[in-house]
Structure 1
Amino acid sequence: MNKPVMPASSLSLKLPTAGGGMETYRLAASRSFPAKLESTLNRVAFSAAHVVADPLADVDPWLTAAVDWDRTIAFREHVWDLGLGVAEAMDTAQRGMGLDWPTSLELIQRSVRAAKARGAGALVFSGAGTDHLAAEDAKTLDDVIRAYEHQIAAIEKAGGRIILMASRALAKIARHPDDYAEVYARVLSQVREPVIIHWLGDMFDPALAGYWGAADLGKAMDTAVAIINAHASKVDGVKISLLDKQREIDMRRRLAGGVKMYTGDDFNYAELIAGDDKGYSHALLGIFDAIAPAASYALSRLAASDAKGFHDVLGPTVALSRHIFKAPTRFYKTGIVFMAYLNGHQDHFNMVGGQESTRSTLHLAELFRLADQAGLLANPELATRRMKAVLALRGLEA
């Protein structure tokens, strides 16, 4: 196992500060992580992968998604090389926030084909939701069920596995926890293989407030656990995205045997994955897109019973993740794509929906500092040039 290398750095640039000035920032000693997994893992870990926009497409970005398919699939190859799975067509890919269902299905089909070409080691699960059904057009539970069935059938036809995403339409029309129980029972009874159920909190999507039929999270969890455990044979696991580590731990301990907990907590993932004497969480994380090499190496250290090595690598990434996912949390995707740009996975900072504009220059500058301090800039020289280019575009001399 190669250990991260930390050569000295003499790079610097000027970055804006909160007080309205500019400071000279000197980069820290960089780290180098293996480009491919060199051992085995004892956690199942998914990266919720982003899509690369096509900056030269003749479209209006706020209205039409244009995807650079070659770069998008190349990024998934990068994730698979590192031993991580791909959680496809999730909100990280701007699903329902710029990426519509037809484009999402094409993304899923391409990703599943690429995974199958690699063989058994390339894990991919894909999001099935109801986003082709406008919430205002959903009148009955049957409308929601048919929408889920439509997307599940299309993904299974492509040979894919399912992540059952939360439904804005269901959140709008459900009046009681029993409505959720009915919808999930009917949908789960039809899936070919066990699914991952995604509980996405309203900090990620305000339209999902009150999911599982209650504004009180304790009552909502009671309903979710009851539904999952009643259909445990159809559930591979549950991803909880509430940014509340204790609720995740509590839910994890209540799940039926064999049902995995996949942490979606981009604030506390290191300690949740490490676990305690009563269990641990697997991972399905948006931040694993941005920190995939470090995450892979850290997980390999955990599998080798090197808890200190795990925390030494993954611990410093948490400050970056908390910054990227700060409120309004739904804008975290901008930071994810900015990291991909800094690290050379794409040669531009353009996003589906024009969402490169959703974070401030100060936010991006602090992201650069935190990424550097965590050793996450794969090529510091390239990252520095690109940071300077973004600052220049925003009227600042770096």
Structure 2
Amino acid sequence: MKTLNAIALPALGGKYRTIEPAAPAALEISTTPSISRAVYAAGHVVADPFQASAGSSSIDWDATLSVRHELWGLGLGVAESMDTAQRGMGLDAKQALILARRTLAEARSVGGAVVVGIGTDQLGPGPYPLAEIADAYAEQLAGVEEAGGRAVMMASRQLALSAKGPDDYLAVYSQVLGASQEPVILHWLGSMFDPSLSGYWGHQSTSAASQTVLDLIGSNREKVAGIKISLLDKEHEIDFRRRLPAGVRLFTGDDFNYAELIAGDEHGHSDALLGAFAAVPRFASAALSRLDRGDADGFRRILEPTVPLSRLIFEAPTQYYKVGVVWLSYLNGWQSHFRMLGGLETGRSLVHLADVFESANSLGLFPDPELSAARAHAYFRGQGV
């Protein structure tokens, strides 16, 4: 193989480090969906590079849908219009529905799997009467179901601000679930992803909140397909998973511990609905292919080495993890530029971006290391470093 030229990347203290581009990892990619796990990678949006700025949410639709086709081509489902797509951080409710409809239409053309996030973000900050919050959820639910989609009921900032206790959450969620035509996936998003969600479900205590959620699921069993938990707490997820009613899936949103949680144990496993899989999609595809063949050790050998990269991407402040996902998409050649809705790419430092490049490179993440190295080098040069 041709020896690639080393590149200099920024480091702490105004210094530089020299990185030798690594050969791509030898991975046996699957092009078909996993049969052993339900798997969704949360897709990001590609901004219009000519419009991207602090005041713009203009989307490059062709490039955005092309990313979805890349994920489907690796056998991964797509979780659409969720926080990875900058929902609440650049993508508004109207755009989210347009995005969902476009993705669902594209999915039908290739047989791709999709679930779609719904929320209450058509409302202002609030507070609001509970009935208005339930109606906002129901409006978005109807829009997704009319387009042929299945919903992920995302956490509501408006409900977090307006609810007085767990009974208010139970009332709103039960009303919306009662209106659903198909079973939905609930989403418990921790405050590390969105600080405005602190005390969600009416409790600061995770154990008390867990009981509220289990009560909700138990009372609406036929309307709940599963729950995505994004608390970055492995032990809590395992305990919660074992307490779920039969047939209700636990979709891990733990971007720190997903390999272990998806592999599971003698009591069960988690399925996957992850932003991390949008960052390491080829590894996810190859690992799940091994798991489908009953090779749990092979699954771990492929996926566990990606966890340090994911932990780096999702480090605090965690809500800026989207920057790392888009950065890797650019470096991998899935899009032509590194700009984001609302200029969100400035949410991470140049040193952080260099760290992500170095970690990804050490895995052999880049299928075309020359392209990735050239893009990283040019980007940092363009920033004056």
Length-normalised TM-score, structure 1? 0.94
Structure 2 equivalent of residue 332 of structure 1: 321
Matches within 5 A, 1:88-237: 88-119=80-111, 122-136=112-126, 138-237=127-226
Query: Does structure 2 conserve the Cα–Cα contact (< 8 Å) formed by 1:9 and 1:30?
Result: no
Q: Deviations over 1:334-377 (max 9, x none)?
A: 00000000000101000011011111111011101110111211
Measured after TM superposition, the shift of residue 293 of structure 1 is 1.2
Over the matched positions of the two proteins, sequence identity in percent amounts to 49
Measured after TM superposition, the shift of residue 276 of structure 1 is 0.6
Which amino acid letter does the alignment assign opposite residue 130 of structure 1?
A: T
Query: Does structure 2 conserve the Cα–Cα contact (< 8 Å) formed by 1:32 and 1:378?
Result: no
Query: Does structure 2 conserve the Cα–Cα contact (< 8 Å) formed by 1:35 and 1:81?
Result: no
> Which has the bigger relative contact order, CA under 8 A and spacing at least 6?
2
Query: Does structure 1 conserve the Cα–Cα contact (< 8 Å) formed by 2:30 and 2:289?
Result: no
* Runs (5+) with no aligned partner, structure 2: none
Alpha-carbon distance in structure 1 between the residues aligned to 2:201 and 2:116: 22
Alpha-carbon distance in structure 1 between the residues aligned to 2:3 and 2:323: 27
Alpha-carbon distance in structure 1 between the residues aligned to 2:218 and 2:355: 42
Structure 2 equivalent of residue 71 of structure 1: 63
Alignment partner of 1:253: what SS? helix
* Runs (5+) with no aligned partner, structure 1: 1-6
Query: Does structure 2 conserve the Cα–Cα contact (< 8 Å) formed by 1:8 and 1:28?
Result: no
Q: Deviations over 1:82-114 (max 9, x none)?
A: 111110000000011110111111100100111
Alpha-carbon distance in structure 2 between the residues aligned to 1:141 and 1:161: 24
Question: Which of these residues, 34, 40, 43, is aligned with residue 46 of structure 1?
Answer: 40
Alignment partner of 2:227: what SS? strand
Alpha-carbon distance in structure 1 between the residues aligned to 2:33 and 2:134: 42
Measured after TM superposition, the shift of residue 224 of structure 1 is 0.9
Structure 1 equivalent of residue 23 of structure 2: 29
Q: Deviations over 1:59-94 (max 9, x none)?
A: x63233111111111111111111111100000000
Structure 2 equivalent of residue 12 of structure 1: 6
Alpha-carbon distance in structure 2 between the residues aligned to 1:316 and 1:15: 22
Structure 2 equivalent of residue 266 of structure 1: 255
Alpha-carbon distance in structure 1 between the residues aligned to 2:171 and 2:50: 46
Farther-moved stretch of structure 1 (22-31 vs 123-132): 22-31
Alignment partner of 2:327: what SS? helix
The structure-2 alpha-carbon separation of the partners of 1:341 and 1:64, relative to structure 1 and needing over 3 Å to count, comes to same
Matches within 5 A, 1:221-300: 221-300=210-289
Alpha-carbon distance in structure 2 between the residues aligned to 1:380 and 1:327: 28
The structure-2 alpha-carbon separation of the partners of 1:316 and 1:8, relative to structure 1 and needing over 3 Å to count, comes to farther
CA-atom RMSD, angstroms?
1.4
Measured after TM superposition, the shift of residue 147 of structure 1 is 0.5
Length-normalised TM-score, structure 2? 0.97
